[in-house]
């Protein structure tokens, strides 16, 4: 049974196939009490890294085999307990889970019941890499605290407002519906958070601004947000579509797939690995870290320069496309590892778009900060912003809003 309690803490869990990232937040002031990561679950060389921010203590590390997600979560619970933040604390209000695929059904955070879990399971065929790990994380957390509300926050939810004209592929409609083939989009928690924070930076309500959000991490996606609602996004049925990414190709003629099957004798699985793991920046130049690529570009490395140019070309195409989709744009927001840190990417993506009201101020763009900030010159018609994303905070806030009796009374 799940009952709302008076706690003010939320544990956010992001369970991957071999990792669990977690943060414990106090929702009274959105402060982080602890953050950590368990990696290489199921291997001999598993590692747990735990930073007890509440006490200001040093980061602790455990190395050695952690067999499965259950063992991982138990190890996390033990680390939290060391600092009096254990999972059995009455202060814990809920556990918020990042769930990658919510299909069409879940357009909002949802308290997890048996039916909800069954629906997340039904979506495994469209998210075979992600949903199984998320389900394992949920089951494990439920076993540890069966009395506590567990909330699913879906990566796809923010994109469920896309009109059919943007969400549908132009393929046989019966085939598409039979197999739930459509554009779902991902990184939604980040796009939601960043588009709202961008409005705040402009001193406006989200309903009053149109924003293009460029989430450029190792995975990368763009979205067009009109008045706080997503109207288009670059990832599709899976996170493979759209921008050039660290290891994913992004947009590609689907005929490349059958060509490789027929001409190179590759299997569907081979091509899946090629396009998801061996393409994008790493496929083009051997590196997927933008810092390394920029360093090589500065040394005159032609392969790295070509990879950078292809990355920027695609980015620019999406800025143009979403400008047209929105009609009027108030701001473009760069976020995630590359977007927040790589000034040359921001400069190059916007270069030559002055006719669209877009420009970047060199000095402002060079500033390094973890705060939301404008990097466009004052005269520019469209604001260009750097807005650090915070998916964990967004998951915690959405979770807390759903379970807190104070907020729901
Ligand atoms: P994800 O969550 O998708 O794994 P992140 O949003 O953490 O990715 O982004 C990771 C990427 O950010 C790295 O692969 C690297 O390319 C880029 N990055 C991080 N720091 C910098 C930096 N200082 N300059 C340029 N790129 C950076």
pTM metric for this prediction: 0.93
d(CA 121, CA 101): 10
**Per-residue pLDDT at 360 exceeds 80:** yes
Which ligand 1 atom minimizes the distance to the CA of 294?
25
pLDDT value of position 130: 84
Judge whether residue 202 has pLDDT over 80. Answer: yes
Averaged pLDDT for residues 212-231: 97
Mark whether 155 is an active-site residue. Answer: yes
Pocket of ligand 1 (CB under 6 A): 217-219, 246, 288-291, 336-338, 341-342
Q: Given a cut of 80, is residue 215 above it in pLDDT?
A: yes
pLDDT at 204 over 70: yes
The pLDDT, as a whole number, for residue 6 is 79
Pocket test for ligand 1, best of 190, 215, 218, 312 (most atoms within 8 A of CB): 218
- pLDDT classification of 154: cutoffs 50, 70, 90: very high
Q: What is the per-residue pLDDT for 29? A: 95
Which tens digits make up the pLDDT trace of 288-330? 999 999 999 999 999 999 999 999 999 999 999 999 999 999 9
Highest mean pLDDT among 65-74, 77-86, 246-255: 246-255
What is the length of the chain? 409
Q: Is the pLDDT of residue 405 over 80?
A: no
Please name the residues in contact with 161: beta carbons below 8 A apart, sequence gap of 6 or more: 107, 229, 230, 231
pLDDT higher than 70, residue 252: yes
Cβ atoms within 10 Å of 8's Cβ, excluding its own: 16
Predicted pLDDT of residue 1: 43
Domains within the chain, CATH numbers bracketed? 4-154 (3.30.420.40), 203-391 (3.30.420.40)
Give the residue, by CA position, lying nearest to ligand 1 atom 14.
289
In the numeric block, which tokens belong to residue 125? Answer: 């065929």
Q: Which of 155, 287, 330, 390 is catalytic?
A: 155
H or E segment to which residue 7 belongs: none
Residues contacting residue 306 through CB under 8 Å, at least 6 positions apart: 284, 285
Binding site per annotation, positions for ATP: 21, 215-219, 289-291, 337-341
Nearest to 190 by CA among 151, 150, 223: 223
- DSSP-assigned letters across all residues of 323-358: HHHHSS-SEEEEEHHHHHH-HHHHHHHHTT-GGGT-
Highest mean pLDDT among 99-108, 197-206, 396-405: 197-206
Q: Which of 372, 4, 12, 355 is nearest to 189 (CA)?
A: 12
Over residues 246-274, mean pLDDT: 97
Q: Please say if the pLDDT value at position 379 is more than 60.
A: yes
pLDDT-based confidence at residue 185 (cuts at 50, 70, 90):
very high
Determine the distance separating the centroid of ligand 1 and the alpha carbon of 309, expressed in angstroms: 18
Residue 223 has pLDDT above 80, yes or no: yes
For residue 408, the model assigns a pLDDT of 65
Across 24-40, average pLDDT = 95
Q: Are 201 and 372 in contact (CB under 8 A)?
A: yes
Window from 3-17, 18-32, 391-405 with minimum mean pLDDT: 3-17
Rg (CA), the chain: 22
Mean pLDDT of 28-54: 94
CB 78 within 8 A of CB 109: no
Of 108, 316, 336, 75, give the one whose Cα is nearest residue 215: 336
Q: What pLDDT does residue 129 have?
A: 78
| Closest ligand 1 atom to 345 CA | 25
Q: How confident is the model at residue 407 (pLDDT cuts 50, 70, 90)?
A: low
What is the C-alpha separation between 299 and 96, in angstroms, rounded? Answer: 45
Confidence band, pLDDT 50/70/90 cuts, at residue 376: very high
Does residue 16 or residue 189 have the better pLDDT? 189
């Amino acid at each position: 049974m799940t009952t709302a309690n008076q706690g003010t803490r939320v544990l956010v869990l992001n369970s991957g196939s071999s990792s669990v990232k977690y943060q414990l937040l106090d929702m009274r002031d959105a402060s982080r009490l602890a953050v950590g990561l368990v990696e290489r679950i199921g291997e001999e060389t598993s590692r747990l890294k735990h930073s007890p921010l509440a006490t200001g203590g040093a980061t602790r590390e455990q190395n050695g085999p952690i067999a499965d997600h259950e063992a991982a979560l138990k190890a996390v619970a033990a680390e939290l307990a060391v600092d009096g933040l254990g999972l059995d604390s009455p202060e814990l209000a809920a556990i918020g889970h990042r769930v990658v695929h919510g299909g069409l059904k879940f357009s909002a955070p949802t308290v997890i019941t048996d039916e909800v879990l069954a629906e997340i399971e039904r979506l495994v065929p469209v998210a075979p890499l992600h949903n199984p790990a998320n389900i394992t994380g949920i089951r494990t957390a439920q076993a540890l605290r069966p009395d506590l509300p567990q909330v699913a926050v879906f990566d796809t939810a923010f994109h469920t407002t896309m009109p059919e004209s943007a969400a549908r592929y132009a393929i046989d409609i019966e085939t598409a519906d039979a197999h739930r083939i459509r554009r779902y989009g991902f990184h939604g928690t980040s796009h939601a958070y960043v588009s709202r924070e961008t409005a705040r930076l402009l001193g406006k309500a989200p309903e009053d601004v149109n924003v293009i959000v460029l989430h450029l991490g190792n995975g990368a996606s763009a979205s067009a947000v009109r008045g706080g609602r997503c109207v288009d996004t670059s990832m599709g049925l899976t996170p493979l579509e759209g921008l050039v990414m660290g290891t994913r190709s992004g947009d590609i003629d689907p005929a490349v797939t059958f060509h490789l099957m027929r001409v190179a004798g590759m299997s569907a699985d081979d091509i899946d690995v090629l396009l998801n793991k061996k393409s994008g920046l790493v496929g083009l130049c051997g590196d997927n870290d933008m810092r390394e690529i920029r360093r090589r570009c500065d040394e005159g490395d032609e392969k790295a320069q070509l990879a950078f140019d292809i990355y920027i070309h695609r980015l620019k195409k999406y800025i143009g496309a979403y400008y047209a989709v929105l009609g009027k744009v108030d701001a473009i927001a760069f976020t995630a590892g590359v977007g927040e840190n790589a000034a040359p990417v921001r400069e190059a993506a916007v270069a030559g778009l002055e006719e669209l009201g877009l420009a970047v101020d060199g000095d402002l763009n060079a500033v390094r900060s973890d705060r939301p900030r404008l990097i466009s010159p004052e005269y520019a018609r469209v604001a260009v912003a750097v807005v650090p994303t915070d998916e964990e905070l967004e998951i915690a806030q959405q979770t807390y809003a759903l379970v807190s009796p104070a907020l729901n009374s």
